């Protein structure tokens, strides 16, 4: 089964071609970071317009790289939610129209399901069941994944997500958007210990997260920050350490509580190298294994959507090419049906 994947949920246009026998054939990604940098965050209208400009040229590029023609496609998968409504409508509209023209199935994919399943694109792939730490954009969740569509929420953020804490703190420090990579780069020359930031809910009995208080603590620290570059780097290092400590601590607790020896990390924050190193070390102490998607598949991408679409269609998921389409800017992952 040859599936075209289209991802347009936020500020990245991702297109990919996945073959259920041969694996990922080709993929391409256009990031809108430069477009939104001056605004310190994503401007929905600008994001939608840029997706319109990019989807079809990227689709032609991916098909050309793979040596395939549109007529050879067996299905089209597109991100149906959650995400920015206008951005989602671009991918859904083009995906459904292409499927209708080719008389092939079109299937709307949950964006977070794509992230959850993206580590299965690697070798070796983690077997089910596994615990998933999902740290993508406005989402920070711990899930038990029993199979395709079999997702149980173990804990989630009660306010700001980890990615939002990085972005908002970076803005306070005068760093560029997106905040995660900017904080990590600055933290590389910093030292922990000069500042003391909280580790919210780290010692609680739940698997929930909270990062709004951490952002407030950074604001307080910035107001009294000494006017030297080393102070900014030290604060960045402490911030990164605080977020990593919480993510690692909650993940370890989830592994212990469920007795599942496999952890999958998915989403953009999962590209943070300090987080990867500490999670791997902590899991090894428990006798557990951590699986990460390649760095290129941590952020939003078309490969995860094409792959999730292929899995869903192989398991008999409902689809349509002639009955229109819908997007769901808000969509609970646990509401998905099992494949």
Q: Where are the domains of the chain?
A: 2-116+297-335, 128-292
State the pLDDT at residue 323: 55
What's domain 128-292's superfamily in CATH? ATPase, nucleotide binding domain (3.30.420.40)
Q: Which residues contact 4 (CB under 8 A, 6 or more apart)?
A: 15, 16, 17, 59, 62, 63, 73, 75, 76, 77, 95, 98, 306
Distance, in Å, from the CA atom of 312 to the CA atom of 88, rounded to the nearest integer, reads 19
State the pLDDT at residue 221: 97
> Hey, which CATH number is domain 2-116+297-335, 3.40.50.300, 3.30.450.40, 2.40.30.10, 3.30.420.40?
3.30.420.40
- Taking the alpha carbons at both ends of the chain, their separation in whole angstroms is 17
Q: What is 274-336 written as a DSSP string?
A: HHHHHHHHHHHHHT-EEE---GGGTSS-HHHHHHHHHHHHHTT----SSS-----SS--GGGS
Distance, in Å, from the CA atom of 233 to the CA atom of 77, rounded to the nearest integer, reads 42
State the pLDDT at residue 272: 96
Determine the 3-state secondary structure of 126 from DSSP: coil
Distance, in Å, from the CA atom of 122 to the CA atom of 119, rounded to the nearest integer, reads 6
Q: Which residues contact 327 (CB under 8 A, 6 or more apart)?
A: 80, 81, 83, 85, 88, 89, 92, 108
For every one of its 339 residues, what pLDDT tens digit does the chain have, with 9 covering 90 and above?
Answer: 999 999 999 999 999 999 999 999 999 999 999 999 888 889 999 999 999 999 999 999 999 999 999 999 999 999 999 999 999 999 999 999 999 999 999 999 999 999 999 999 988 899 999 999 999 878 999 999 999 999 999 999 999 999 999 999 999 999 998 999 999 999 999 999 999 999 999 999 999 999 999 999 999 999 999 989 999 999 999 999 999 999 999 999 999 999 999 999 999 999 999 999 999 999 999 999 999 988 889 999 999 999 999 999 998 876 655 456 789 999 988 888 886
């Amino acid at each position: 089964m040859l599936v075209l994947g289209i991802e347009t949920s936020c500020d990245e246009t991702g297109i990919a071609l996945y073959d259920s026998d041969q694996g990922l054939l080709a993929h391409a990604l256009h990031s809108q970071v430069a477009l939104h940098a001056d605004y310190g965050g994503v401007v929905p209208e600008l994001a939608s317009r840029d997706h319109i400009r990019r989807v079809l040229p990227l689709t032609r590029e991916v098909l050309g790289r793979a040596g395939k023609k549109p007529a050879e496609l067996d299905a089209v998968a597109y991100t149906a939610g959650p995400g920015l409504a206008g951005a989602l409508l671009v991918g859904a509209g083009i995906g459904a129209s292409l499927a209708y023209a080719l008389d092939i199935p079109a299937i709307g994919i949950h964006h977070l399901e794509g992230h959850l399943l993206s580590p299965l694109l690697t070798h070796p792939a983690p077997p089910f069941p596994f615990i998933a730490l999902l740290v993508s954009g406005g989402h920070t969740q711990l899930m038990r994944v029993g199979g395709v569509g079999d997702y149980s929420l173990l804990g989630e953020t009660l306010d700001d997500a980890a990615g939002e804490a990085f972005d908002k703190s970076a803005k306070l420090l005068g760093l560029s958007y997106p905040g995660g990579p900017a904080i990590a780069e600055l933290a590389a020359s910093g030292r922990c210990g000069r500042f003391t930031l909280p580790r919210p809910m780290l010692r609680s009995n739940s698997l929930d997260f909270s990062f709004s208080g951490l952002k407030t603590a950074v604001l307080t620290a910035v107001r009294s920050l000494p006017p030297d570059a080393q102070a900014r780097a030290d604060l960045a290092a402490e911030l990164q350490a605080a977020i990593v400590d919480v993510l690692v601590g909650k993940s370890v607790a989830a592994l212990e509580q469920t007795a599942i020896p496999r952890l999958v990390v998915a989403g953009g924050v999962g590209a943070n190298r300090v987080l990867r190193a500490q999670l791997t070390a902590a899991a090894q102490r428990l006798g557990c294994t951590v699986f990460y998607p390649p760095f290129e598949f941590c952020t939003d991408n078309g490969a995860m959507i094409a792959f999730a679409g292929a899995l869903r269609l192989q398991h008999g998921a409902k689809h349509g090419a002639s009955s229109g389409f819908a997007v769901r800017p808000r969509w609970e992952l646990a509401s998905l049906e099992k494949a």
